[in-house]
């Protein structure tokens, strides 16, 4: 079961509640009348002024990389050719639900943000890219009733870890498979149909729409994050909107995970963090400085009985299974990491695997077409950094926790959409 909560101070309008009808989570998709009453689809008098405000507020993309939104918008605007804009709602991280929740419950907010992005970049058409059927139905209903000022198509894809990577999005919108391609060119240079293309996460677009409609609370809106908090299978999960800099302890306590010995940051992208995790803030720069990553904002807290070696092994095995199998270094690298970790978890490694795992975790990042290989390498690197004693304890001896059957197909990290 997943709860939906907002920790934003009263009056600081977020994405989980309407600026006007501040009555808690939506029971269903927001209709046009309600969205218009909340200030939606407000006229845009100056594209440059809105773009400058986004830059001044420091709004970052919410898809995982945290790239400055204004820089991306300007790059697409300034590229030669008539741009295309894409709302990317394909959540590859199994522990994240924010994008599907927004698409299901607040589709007009996303379409409004897409409209504004098109205006700022000069785009002539837009796409909504997703894999979730209830989200698709909500978006199509919203498209049928919204102001028709931008031609928008819905593109459905199969749900995989790599399907939301920006070049995979472009490839699928163009009619191909949802698989990453080599870079350059980046989509802002040559994307859908060869045109400069903005691939923007749906939360990013939603925040653009809210800060345009509610300029008085724009700073709070730009800094807040939607965070998916989860723990062991069967425990309470939650989608929470939180102010920038919120410490992880607050989020863990909300879900009853205050005694967790560790947290898996950013879905499977940010790695494992042990001692000191309660004091970590939700902040891209400070999490990066601590050796982790905020990623898509998914946090998975371990149970005191969980073994971090087992959790890391499951995470890397899931990533290896999700490889697009296009890059030889990714296939061989994730496979080697998964096999070596599995042997270590079972106490069956022929020799001490630590040096080999550490070397691979340093050599592999940046060598694949997408971030999957980087994610696997970071999980291993952070396991070795934060839990060296637990890794050593598996040498030549079976761990009773690791010996238990693991949840299949990444189920440990999967959260249902509220």
Measured CA to CA in angstroms, residue 19 lies from 13, 15, 55, 179 at distances of 5, 9, 23, 38
* CA–CA distance, 410 with 95 (Å, rounded to integer): 9
* CA–CA distance, 270 with 259 (Å, rounded to integer): 20
| pLDDT score of 4 | 87
Convert the pLDDT of each residue in 405-414 to its tens digit.
776 666 788 8
Show the tokens assigned to 53: 């405000």
* CA–CA distance, 83 with 85 (Å, rounded to integer): 7
Residue percentage of the chain with pLDDT more than 70: 96
| pLDDT score of 19 | 45
pLDDT band, very low/low/confident/very high, at 9 (cuts 50, 70, 90) = confident
| pLDDT score of 22 | 41
Tokens 């894999």 -> residue? 131
Q: What is the rounded average pLDDT of the residues 245-259?
A: 91
* Least trusted range by pLDDT, from 12-26, 82-96, 169-183, 332-346: 12-26
Average pLDDT over all residues of the chain: 90
| pLDDT score of 284 | 87
Residue 34 exposed, middle or buried by CB count within 10 Å (0-12, 13-18, 19+):
middle
Q: What is the rounded average pLDDT of the residues 370-380?
A: 93
| pLDDT score of 118 | 98
Convert the pLDDT of each residue in 278-306 to its tens digit.
999 998 888 888 888 888 999 999 999 99
> Is cis: bond before 184, omega within 30 of 0?
yes
Instruction: Using the predicted structure, report yes or no on whether residue 263 has a pLDDT greater than 80.
Output: yes
Instruction: Using the predicted structure, report yes or no on whether residue 319 has a pLDDT greater than 70.
Output: yes
DSSP state at residue 87? E
Instruction: Using the predicted structure, report yes or no on whether residue 23 has a pLDDT greater than 50.
Output: no
* Distance separating the N- and C-terminal Cα atoms of the chain: 7
Instruction: Using the predicted structure, report yes or no on whether residue 366 has a pLDDT greater than 90.
Output: no
Q: What is the rounded average pLDDT of the residues 73-93?
A: 96
| pLDDT score of 21 | 37
């Amino acid at each position: 079961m997943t709860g939906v909560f907002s920790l934003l101070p009263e009056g600081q309008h977020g994405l989980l509640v309407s600026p006007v009808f501040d009555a808690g989570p939506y029971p269903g998709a927001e209709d046009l009348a309600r969205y218009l009453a909340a200030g939606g689809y407000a006229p845009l008098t100056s594209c440059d002024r809105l773009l400058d405000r986004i830059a001044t507020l420091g709004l970052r993309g919410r898809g995982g990389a945290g790239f400055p939104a204004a820089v991306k918008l300007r790059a697409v605007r300034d590229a030669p050719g008539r741009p295309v804009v894409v709302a990317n709602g394909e959540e590859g991280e199994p522990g994240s639900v924010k994008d599907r929740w927004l698409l299901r419950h607040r589709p007009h907010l996303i379409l409004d943000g897409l409209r504004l992005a098109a205006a700022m970049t000069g785009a002539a058409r837009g796409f909504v890219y997703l894999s979730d059927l209830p989200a698709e139905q909500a978006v199509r209903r919203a498209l049928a009733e919204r102001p028709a000022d931008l031609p928008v198509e819905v593109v459905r894809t199969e749900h995989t870890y790599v399907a939301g990577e920006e070049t995979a999005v472009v490839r699928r919108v163009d009619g191909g498979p949802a698989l990453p391609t080599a870079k350059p060119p980046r989509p802002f240079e040559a994307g859908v149909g060869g045109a400069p293309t903005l691939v923007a996460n749906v939360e990013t677009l939603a925040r653009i729409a809210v800060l345009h409609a509610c300029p008085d609370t724009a700073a709070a809106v730009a800094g807040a994050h939607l965070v998916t908090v989860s723990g062991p299978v069967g425990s309470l999960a939650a989608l929470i909107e939180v102010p920038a800099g919120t410490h992880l302890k607050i989020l863990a306590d909300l879900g009853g995970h205050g005694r967790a010995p560790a947290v898996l940051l950013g879905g499977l992208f940010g790695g494992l963090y042990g001692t000191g995790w309660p004091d970590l803030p939700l902040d891209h720069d400070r999490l990066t400085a601590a050796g982790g990553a905020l990623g898509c904002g998914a946090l998975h807290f371990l149970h005191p009985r969980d073994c971090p070696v087992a959790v890391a092994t499951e995470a890397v095995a899931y990533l290896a299974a999700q490889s697009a199998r296009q890059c030889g270094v990714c296939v061989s690298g994730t496979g080697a990491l998964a096999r070596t970790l599995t042997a270590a978890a079972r106490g069956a490694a022929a020799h001490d695997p630590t040096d080999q795992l550490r070397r691979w975790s340093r050599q592999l990042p940046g060598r694949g077409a997408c971030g999957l290989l980087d994610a696997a390498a970071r999980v291993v690197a952070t396991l070795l950094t934060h839990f060296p004693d637990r890794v050593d304890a598996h040498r030549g001896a079976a761990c009773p926790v690791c010996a238990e059957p693991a949840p299949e197909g990444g189920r440990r990290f999967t959260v249902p959409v509220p």
